[in-house]
């Protein structure tokens, strides 16, 4: 009798489980179909927005295959939850499924929309920015319009409608078996089919093909994995592997070493009677891809190029970060990153040294001029820690200056480059006899890529392509980003104006101009993982004895050590005996020298790249660095493990010194 009483219950549970599997199979096919529809939407909005539907259609079609595989992958955990809920209640399971799947569908559409204007998929950097910073960035890019929201709503409603219709249909068991098998197989082994950046001819082709949700979730996973690996323990740090050429002096302060940076600059400069003025011009998004000799996209900075012919010019130079957040700490402090960028530590920044503070203690006056809001990326907190004399920014420019044209969302990034330079020239009129260190950051080469007299610069852009002897297909490719290139020409004119006006000043003959980009513009498709960091470094001055080009690799980390060594030797500027620089100083050796080992941070929350001499480690894949900073994947297992170990050691150092205030002792502040 006991067996008879339990048999119907067992049959009921079995039937319920089968019904759950059958219902989920029907709903799954609609989920996959909507992912295909979403890819078609992506092909349309990105192709038509940038005029490359035909040239990249093959990659987008390949992307459909990856979308299908990923859709089945992500359905496996949804299936497990659905099955458990179904046993309790069919209604509860259906509600749970719709909530989960709607979230995944909407998120995928939003990731596609982000990629439309950024042309770089959204990763874990999303969590590195405050709400205000995200709002500013979205407004600057133009955000989304009514048409975008309308199409997104149509796709979501289509998903709901088809799901409601299909749940009522009956299908053969073969259909159920096939669909659930695909969910199981791809859910467990789909990662084997995921696209890898190294399998594509350039990085942008990978970005175009990969499913944008998959890219986001993978980045989140890798970031969390790295978080676990970064050990906040000084005993886990191998100081000799931080930088082999340094003589480290304290286990508790792993970066602290004797200052032994060689003075490589004095030989290029005539000695003046007084220490020179230093003018740092940090150009928003100035990449080598479109500036300087042999720029592979053609150079759109003709005046800067001509200036470079009379300068010290590092052609294979790298920024420390892929966004502006990294430029001030790396250029002026050769500092580590912390978890989300050194500036993001705000008032909790550990004690540190910078060129700004050291030169101020040696009698320099220091200034910062920026056309945007200096609180963005918490730049103001960093600068105030250096006791900077004056900050000129969006709020205190005063009358007589014009902001860049607003975009369709009535937003402007800030004052134009020419007005930024004009402001700097104006405030110098009342300077005394003290030497100066000026920092200028431009704004125009940034979303929304609007400049004064846009029609004029559009004509200049067309003429520049003709001057560069572009073929018709090259012109069409560049016209997809004509606004971007027009901002480059606008900046170039502004720089011409600034140098011309500055040359009329009496102290021009005793001024050194240091020009570099904060990072390469990611909105124009990247060729490789390292391309994002490739910027020029140009040192121009009437004090120069000769001009010279250098092909060796150096980075933003190397600027402060070299300039302080130069000022110390040539002008007796007092510098600390112990320092914590990451950089070794600028490399002026002959040929394409590759002896630098530094971390590079793409975005806040994306510390995944490491320069290791002749190798480049990116997301645990190893590449050989060739001339012109092209990279090629290598399967060199021992070198891969060596580079990973060095990078891991830096992660440990980075975590320890920033979280425990162990960059420099209090006595060296």
Q: Which residue(s) pair with 282 in the sheet? A: 441, 516
Could you tell me what percent of the chain has a pLDDT over 90?
Answer: 60
Per the model's pLDDT, the better-predicted residue between 45 and 516 turns out to be 516
Band of pLDDT at residue 3, cut at 50, 70 and 90: very low
- Given this model, what pLDDT does residue 233 score? 65
Q: Calculate ∠ Cα 48-49-54, nearest 5°.
A: 35
Q: Looking only at Cα atoms, what is the longest distance across the chain?
A: 110
- With a cut of 50, say whether residue 213 has pLDDT above it: yes
pLDDT mean over 209-231:
75
Cβ contacts of residue 339 below 8 Å, gap of 6+?
227, 605, 607, 655, 658
Q: Residue 173 — very low, low, confident or very high, per pLDDT cuts 50/70/90?
A: confident
Query: Is 56 or 490 the better-scoring residue by pLDDT?
Result: 490
Q: How many CB atoms lie within 10 A of CB 330?
A: 28
How much is the pLDDT for 53? 47
Mean pLDDT in residue range 165-182: 84
Contact 230, 651 (CB under 8 A): yes
pLDDT score of 100 more than 60: yes
Predicted pLDDT of residue 162: 86
Per-residue pLDDT tens over the stretch 484-528:
999 999 999 999 999 999 999 999 999 999 999 999 999 899 999
Could you please state the CATH topology (level 3) that the domain comprising 234-668 is classified under.
Answer: Alkaline Phosphatase, subunit A (3.40.720)
61: nearest Cα among 180, 187, 193, 208:
208
**Whole-number pLDDT of residue 5:** 43
Q: What is the pLDDT of residues 353-396, one digit of tens each?
A: 999 999 999 999 999 999 999 998 899 999 999 999 999 998 89
**pLDDT tens per residue, range 548-577:** 999 999 999 999 999 999 999 999 999 999
Are the beta carbons of 475 and 277 closer than 8 angstroms? no
pLDDT of 667 > 90? The answer is no
Q: How far is CA 340 from CA 125, 228, 321, 520, in A?
A: 8, 15, 11, 19
Tell me the pLDDT tens digit for each residue of 254-298.
999 999 999 999 999 999 999 999 999 999 999 999 999 999 999
Which pLDDT value is given to residue 304? Answer: 98
Angle at 63 between CA 57 and CA 69, to 5 degrees: 155
Q: Can you tell me the distance from the alpha carbon of 525 to that of 200, in angstroms, rounded to the nearest whole number? A: 13
Res 4 pLDDT > 50: no
User: Checking DSSP bridges between strand 312-318 and strand 534-540, what pairing results, if any?
Assistant: antiparallel
pLDDT, tens digit, 9 for 90 and up, residues 603-643: 887 888 999 999 999 988 999 999 889 999 999 989 999 99
Residue 223 has pLDDT above 70, yes or no: no
Mean pLDDT of 112-134: 74
Window from 27-41, 102-116, 140-154 with minimum mean pLDDT:
140-154
407: Cβ–Cβ under 8 A, 6 or more apart, which residues? 139, 140, 142, 448, 450
What tokens appear for 35 in the block?
């992912």
* Ranges in the chain annotated CATH 3.40.720.10: 234-668
Q: How confident is the model at residue 134 (pLDDT cuts 50, 70, 90)?
A: low
Q: Residue 224: pLDDT above 50?
A: yes
Give the pLDDT confidence score for residue 429 in this predicted structure. 85
For range 596-603, the mean pLDDT: 92
- Estimate the crossing angle of helix 454-467 against helix 482-502, to 10 degrees: 90
How much is the pLDDT for 142? Answer: 56
Comparing CA positions, the residue from 651, 644, 647, 631 lying closest to residue 202 is: 631
Helix (H) or strand (E) holding 309, with range, is none
What burial letters (b/e) apply to 217-244, b meaning 16+ CB within 10 Å?
Answer: bbbeebbeebeeebbeebeebebebbbe
Look at residue 1 and tell me whether its pLDDT is greater than 50: no
Could you give the CA distance from residue 390 to residue 369 in angstroms, rounded to a whole number?
Answer: 9
Distances (CA, A) of 247 to 170, 441, 450: 75, 34, 49
From the list 601, 596, 615, the residue with the least C-alpha distance to 651 is 601
Other beta carbons within 10 Å of 473? 9
The residues that bridge with 517 in the sheet, in sequence order, are: 283
Q: What is the mean pLDDT of the chain?
A: 88
Handedness of CA 248, 254, 257, 262 (dihedral sign): positive
Question: What is the structure's pLDDT at 166?
Answer: 84
pLDDT-derived band at 336 (thresholds 50, 70, 90) equals very high
Cβ-Cβ contacts under 8 Å for 649 (sequence gap 6 or more): 237, 238, 241, 242
Residue 2: its pLDDT value, please?
Answer: 42
pLDDT bin (cut points 50, 70, 90) of residue 164 is confident
Residue 431: predicted pLDDT: 81
What would the DSSP string read from start to end of 314-373?
Answer: EEEEE-SBSSGGGHHHHHHH----TTT-GGGGGGGPPP---HHHHHHHTT-EEEEEESS-
Could you tell me what percent of the chain has a pLDDT over 70?
90
Given a contact cutoff of 8 angstroms between Cβ atoms, the answer to whether 413 and 393 are in contact is: no
């Amino acid at each position: 009798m006991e067996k008879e009483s339990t048999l119907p219950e067992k049959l009921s549970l079995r039937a319920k489980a089968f019904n759950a599997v059958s219902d989920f199979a029907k709903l799954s096919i609609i989920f996959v179909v909507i992912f295909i529809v979403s890819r078609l939407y992506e092909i349309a909005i990105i192709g038509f927005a940038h005029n490359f539907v035909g040239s990249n259609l093959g990659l987008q079609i390949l992307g459909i295959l990856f979308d299908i595989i990923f859709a089945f992958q992500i359905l496996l955990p949804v299936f497990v939850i659905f099955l458990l809920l179904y046993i309790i209640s069919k209604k509860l399971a259906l509600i749970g499924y719709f909530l989960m799947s709607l979230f995944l569908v909407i998120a995928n559409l939003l990731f596609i929309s982000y990629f439309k204007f950024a042309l770089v998929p959204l990763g874990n950097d999303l969590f590195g920015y405050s709400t205000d910073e995200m709002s500013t960035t979205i407004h600057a890019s133009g955000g989304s319009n009514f048409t975008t929201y309308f199409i997104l709503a149509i796709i979501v409603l289509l998903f709901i409608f088809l799901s409601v219709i299909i749940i009522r249909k009956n299908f053969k068991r073969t259909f159920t078996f096939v669909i659930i098998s695909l969910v199981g197989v791809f859910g467990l082994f789909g990662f084997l089919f995921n696209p890898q950046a190294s399998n594509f001819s350039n990085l942008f082709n990978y970005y175009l093909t990969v499913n944008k949700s998959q890219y986001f979730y993978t980045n989140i996973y890798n970031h969390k994995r790295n978080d676990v690996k970064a050990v906040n323990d000084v005993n886990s740090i191998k100081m000799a592997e931080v930088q082999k050429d340094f003589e480290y002096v304290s286990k508790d302060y792993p970066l602290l070493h004797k200052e032994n940076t060689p003075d490589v600059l004095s030989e290029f400069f005539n000695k003046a009677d007084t220490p020179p003025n230093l003018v740092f011009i940090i150009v928003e998004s100035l990449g080598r891809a479109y500036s300087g000799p042999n720029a592979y996209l053609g150079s759109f900075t003709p005046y800067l190029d001509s200036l470079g012919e009379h300068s010290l010019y590092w052609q294979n130079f790298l920024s420390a970060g892929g966004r502006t957040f990294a430029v001030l700490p790396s250029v002026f402090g050769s500092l580590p990153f912390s978890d989300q960028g050194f500036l993001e530590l705000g008032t909790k920044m550990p004690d540190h040294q910078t060129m700004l503070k050291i030169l101020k203690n040696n009698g320099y006056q220091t200034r910062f001029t920026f056309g945007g809001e200096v609180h963005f990326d918490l730049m103001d907190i960093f600068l105030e820690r250096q006791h900077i004399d004056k900050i000129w920014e969006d709020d205190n420019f005063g009358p007589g200056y014009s902001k860049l044209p607003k975009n369709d969302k009535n937003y402007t990034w800030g004052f134009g480059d020419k007005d930024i330079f004009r402001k700097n020239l104006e405030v110098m009129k009342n300077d005394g006899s003290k030497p100066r260190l000026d920092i200028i950051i431009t704004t125009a080469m940034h979303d929304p890529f609007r400049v004064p007299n846009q029609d004029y610069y559009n004509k200049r852009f067309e003429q520049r392509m003709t001057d560069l002897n572009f073929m018709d297909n090259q012109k069409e490719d560049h016209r997809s980003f004509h606004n971007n290139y027009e901002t480059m020409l606008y900046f170039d004119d502004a720089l011409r104006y600034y140098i011309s006006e500055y040359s009329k000043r009496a102290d021009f003959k005793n001024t050194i101009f240091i020009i570099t980009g904060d990072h390469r513009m990611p909105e124009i498709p990247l060729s490789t993982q390292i391309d994002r960091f490739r910027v020029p470094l140009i040192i121009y001055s009437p004090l120069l004895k000769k001009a010279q080009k250098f092909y060796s690799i150096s980075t933003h980390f190397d600027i402060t050590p070299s300039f302080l060594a130069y000022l110390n030797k040539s002008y007796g500027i007092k510098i600390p005996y112990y320092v914590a620089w990451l950089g070794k100083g600028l490399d002026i050796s002959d040929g394409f020298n590759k002896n630098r080992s530094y971390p590079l941070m793409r975005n806040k929350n994306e510390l995944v790249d490491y320069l290791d001499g002749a190798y480049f480690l990116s997301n645990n894949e190893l590449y050989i660095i060739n001339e012109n900073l092209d990279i090629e994947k290598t399967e060199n297992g021992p070198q891969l493990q060596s580079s990973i170990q060095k990078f891991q050691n830096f992660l440990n150092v980075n975590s320890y010194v920033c979280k425990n205030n162990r960059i420099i002792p209090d006595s060296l502040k």
